[in-house]
Amino acid sequence: MKKHPGASAVLAALAAAALFGASTPLAKQFVGDMSALLLAGLLYLGSGVGLLGLRVLRDRAWCNPGLAPREWPWLLGAIGCGGVIGPTLLMLGLAATGAATASLLLNLEGVLTALLAWFIFKENAGRRVVVGMALVVAGGLLLSWPGAVTGTSAGGMGAAFIVGACLCWALDNNLTRQVANSDALFIAGLKGIIAAVVNIGLALALGQSLPAWRVVGPVLLIGFLGYGISLALFVLALRGLGAARTGAYFGAAPFMGAAIAIGVFGESTSPLFWGAGLFMAAGLWLHLTERHSHPHWHGTLQHSHPHFPDMDHRHDHP
């Protein structure tokens, strides 16, 4: 009998998509106020400080996240790809590409995530998901066609930067999948702090200075919601769906970003843009309506999660 993936995991993936999708056109408004490195660092600073603060409030203390020594290389690799290199490439891409076009190009993250999950990490692939990925790639090719990008002078280079960011985040997603059973707030918060320290440190070392608080404050808030809360929800979705299917549901993010860029900020578009959007929307529909079931065999697993000392001794005494 076919079963739909866990409803809570699907909702977590879609909520993560909505928050991240909104962050792209919002972050675009601050590209002219600071460098790509500094903007990426401040976005992740808001993410890291906010999430680790929530974790301390939740646990009323700083407790051991339960990561095994063998899991740290996966997490550090994910932080390097998705927390340092990826955001910087995205900010460079936004400087040369409209937010609406950049948002749609971010659909390629799901394609690259699935390809890595299938061919390297051996996740299962369904026919509908494969066809959906092909439609997303077709949309990405349309967006890269001359004339698809309007209102920019270096759309091709900007698109290349954004595709590079998608590849970094695809690596990040698959590496994070290896530690997704650990504390989601800790994983996302630590990624934010390390990414912030590296990016802001490099920006300051290159002679850049922090902008005024009226600029920093909104950027930190965008980072907390669009990078922090979104990433924590993404990690929760990875537990129930795997990297390939979480990436497929996350494909809703670019459409949220494009809608905000066009409807709120009035960005111009082209017929090729709308054609690409139709291809990508069809691919997303195939992903969202896919059903997945096949036999699983699991060997002995090691796991860790919090236990209360009296968990097995809770009953009333006369």
d(CA 196, CA 148): 33
Which tokens hold the place of 213? 């608080």
Closest CA to 172 of 109, 230, 215, 119: 109
pLDDT of residue 264: 84
Please say whether the dihedral angle defined by the alpha carbons of residues 136, 244, 295 and 183, taken in this order, is positive or negative.
Answer: negative
Measured between alpha carbons, how far is residue 283 from residues 2, 105, 111, 130 in Å? 21, 13, 10, 9
pLDDT of residue 44: 92
d(CA 85, CA 279): 28
pLDDT of residue 4: 52
At 48, the amino acid letter reads G
Cβ neighbors of 47 (< 8 A, separation 6 or more) are 188, 189, 191, 192, 195, 196, 223, 224, 227, 228, 231
Which tokens hold the place of 165? 């960011």
> Where do we find the tokens 């106020």?
33
At 69, the amino acid letter reads P
Cβ neighbors of 65 (< 8 A, separation 6 or more) are 182, 183, 186, 187
**Global pTM?**
0.71
pLDDT of residue 292: 53
d(CA 243, CA 122): 11
Measured between alpha carbons, how far is residue 104 from residues 25, 249, 282, 294 in Å? 11, 14, 13, 32
Q: Are the C-beta atoms of 10 and 237 separated by less than 8 Å?
A: yes
DSSP H helical ranges for the chain: 7-28, 36-59, 72-78, 86-96, 99-105, 108-119, 127-143, 155-177, 184-205, 213-222, 230-249, 253-263, 271-288
pLDDT of residue 62: 65
Q: Are the C-beta atoms of 62 and 56 separated by less than 8 Å?
A: yes
At 90, the amino acid letter reads L
Determine the 3-state secondary structure of 95 from DSSP: helix
pLDDT of residue 310: 41
- Give the number of other CB atoms < 10 A from CB of residue 189: 25
Digit-by-digit pLDDT tens for the chain (318 residues) are 444 547 888 889 889 988 988 998 999 899 888 988 899 999 999 999 999 999 888 876 666 666 788 888 999 999 999 888 998 898 888 888 887 788 788 878 878 887 888 878 766 666 777 787 788 777 777 766 655 555 444 457 888 899 899 999 999 988 988 887 888 888 888 889 999 999 999 999 989 998 999 999 999 999 999 999 998 898 888 888 877 778 777 777 778 888 888 888 888 777 878 888 888 888 878 876 766 554 444 444 454 544 434 444 444 544
pLDDT of residue 285: 83
Q: For the chain, state the CA radius of gyration.
A: 20
pLDDT of residue 103: 79
